Amino acid sequence: MDLLNTLVDKGLRREPPTREEALAVLATSDDDLLDVVAAAGKVRRRWFGRRVKLNYLVNLKSGLCPEDCSYCSQRLGSKAEILKYTWLKPEDASKAAAAGVAGGAKRVCLVASGRGPTDRDIDRVSKTIEAIKEQNEDVEVCACLGLLSAGQAERLRAAGADAYNHNLNTSEATYGDITTTHTYADRVDTVQQAQAAGMSACSGLIAGMGESDEDLVDVVFSLRALDPDSVPVNFLIPFEGTPLAKEWNLTPQRALRILAMVRFVCPDVEVRLAGGREVHLRSMQPLALHLANSIFLGDYLTSEGQEGKADLDMIADAGFEVEGTDTTTLPAHRADAVAEAAAGCGGGSCGPCGDDSPTAAAPEAEAVTGQDARTDLVAVRRRGAGTDLPPNA
């Protein structure tokens, strides 16, 4: 297929596809799916080999969020029966993180519900980072605390945070349809604050919220322009008790096409297979490893994930290997840019994904064929952080 050959050639040169080409990936048929995965897999292997980076989530504060993000089980007015608790003590968070590190995770992601942290919250998280790094010196720590105020990114960086996560989630044009309590511009600003402070930016999307192909391409091209080092691709977990509980729009095949499109648009960026993979990819998860070079190990914030041992078995059985702490995740050209930013570059556009050149107009998207609701695959997390039960790692 000429399209795939063109996309592979561009990906190996770190050149972005046009919008028209990205849309064409999403429009490919199921008959062409393995060809699409194989083509994107060539790009993935060029920049990341057969390594899989493991990340581990620690939910520092769960539920009772004042924001109204429609996809979130922790949102204002959510009736989802999730765990609700206030801030974990640093020693408890460190203990939870240690379980993930013991399972092979090289990055720990510290997440807290809420619009954004207070200065006191920054103090709490700083002490937690210190406690984690005392026990695991080589582990990367990523903070995800919501919208940042002036000076907070610098304080987190000084405390030892290596990265900051704040997802764009969907296109700017449709952002107001899923959230009204903050704006798309607020999210962009927080990512840029993290970059300016010298932290590695982590920003991605959520697919399956009823968006069009154009929306998916829009947000991924916006992410490329923003130039994060990590792009998590989440698939909506339709929690009962949230406004999007009835949105079951994804098939395993569509999820794979979305991942392939992201890989082609951001060829040398850490693409992370994130929340919802077990729900929507199911038995086709191993194919996604040919597209993404990073996954979350075990459970998510409020939902259970695949057993940690099953994750490790899946990686080994698919012929991949867990990335060690002695290996740099990003290709040398991006890793050097990250180091330069941490040393004081701070511009947030040092890497090659900052190209925002005009591209071809987008053709009309095809209708998305959904799937039957698989509510049996959505399980609320009842173990790990915030409980007395051991975590899944």
Active site residues: 65, 69, 72, 109, 142, 202, 272
User: Smallest Cα–Cα separation from 268: which of 72, 55, 49, 38?
Assistant: 49
Known binding residue 350? Answer is: no
The answer to whether the CB of 196 falls within 8 A of the CB of 164 is no
DSSP collapsed to 3 states, 259-321: HHHHHHHCCCCEEEECCCHHHHCHHHHHHHCCCCCEEECCCCCCECCCCHHHHHHHHHHCCCE
* CA dihedral (205, 208, 209, 211) positive or negative: positive
C-alpha to C-alpha distance for 248 and 245, rounded to whole angstroms: 8
Q: Which residues pair with 223 in a beta bridge?
A: none
C-alpha to C-alpha distance for 142 and 259, rounded to whole angstroms: 22
The answer to whether the CB of 83 falls within 8 A of the CB of 379 is no
Known binding residue 353? Answer is: no
What are the angstrom distances between the C-alpha of 278 and each of 12, 298, 305, 328, 374?
Answer: 30, 11, 7, 27, 11
The answer to whether the CB of 357 falls within 8 A of the CB of 65 is no
Known binding residue 345? Answer is: no
Angle, alpha carbons 12-16-21 (nearest 5°): 105
The answer to whether the CB of 200 falls within 8 A of the CB of 107 is no
C-alpha to C-alpha distance for 158 and 123, rounded to whole angstroms: 11
What spatial distance separates the first Cα and last Cα of the chain, rounded to whole Å? 41
Q: How many CA atoms lie within 13 A of 126 on its CB side?
A: 15
The amino acid sitting at 239 is F
Classified as helix, coil or strand, 113 is coil
The amino acid sitting at 61 is K
Q: What backbone torsions phi and psi does residue 68 show, to the nearest 5 degrees?
A: -110, 35
* Residues in binding site: 65, 69, 72, 109, 142, 202, 272
* Residues in binding site for [2Fe-2S] cluster: 109, 142, 202, 272
* Residues in binding site for [4Fe-4S] cluster: 65, 69, 72
